[in-house]
Amino acid sequence: MSEKLIDAMALGTVPIYWGTREAERAFSVIPWRTLEDLKRVLRKLDARLYKRMRFAARSNLDTARAFETPEQWLWDNVLKCAYEWHASHPPANCPLK
C-alpha cells in the first residue's frame, strides 16, 4: 500500500483499487483483481453508485485527514526530541547555537 491510496481518499473519493487486501479491510475501496473485474467495476460506475457510496467517501476523507505520514511520526517521536536536546546542549562548533 502506498501514499497514492491516501492521496485519493484525501479528495473524498472511494478509490478503484488494485492491491493488498489489508487496504480493502482498512478503507472503503472498490477492489478489483483481474482485468475482467476492472471492466465490470467500470461499467457499474454511475450517479446511483456515487450516491450510495457518499458515506464511504466521507469516511475515507476523515481517515485521510487523520493519517499521519511516516515522516511526521518520525519527527514527533524521535527527531524532535533529539533536535531539542541538541539545541539546548550544542557542542562548541555547532551552528545551531
- Tens digits of residue pLDDT in 5-63: 888 999 989 999 999 999 888 899 999 999 999 999 999 999 999 999 999 999 999 98
Residues 12, 38, single domain; the answer is yes
Asked if the model's pLDDT at residue 73 lies above 90, the reply is: no
Residues 10, 30, single domain; the answer is yes
The number of folded domains in the chain is: 2
User: Which CA distances in Å does 55 have to 13, 15, 21, 32?
Assistant: 10, 13, 21, 21
Residues 20, 55, single domain; the answer is yes
More confident residue, 33 or 87: 33
18 in Cβ contact with 36 (< 8 Å): no
pLDDT at 92: 72
Residues 25, 49, single domain; the answer is yes
Enclosing domain of residue 89 = 68-97
Residues 33, 73, single domain; the answer is no
Residues 75, 48, single domain; the answer is no
24 in Cβ contact with 17 (< 8 Å): yes
Residues 42, 76, single domain; the answer is no
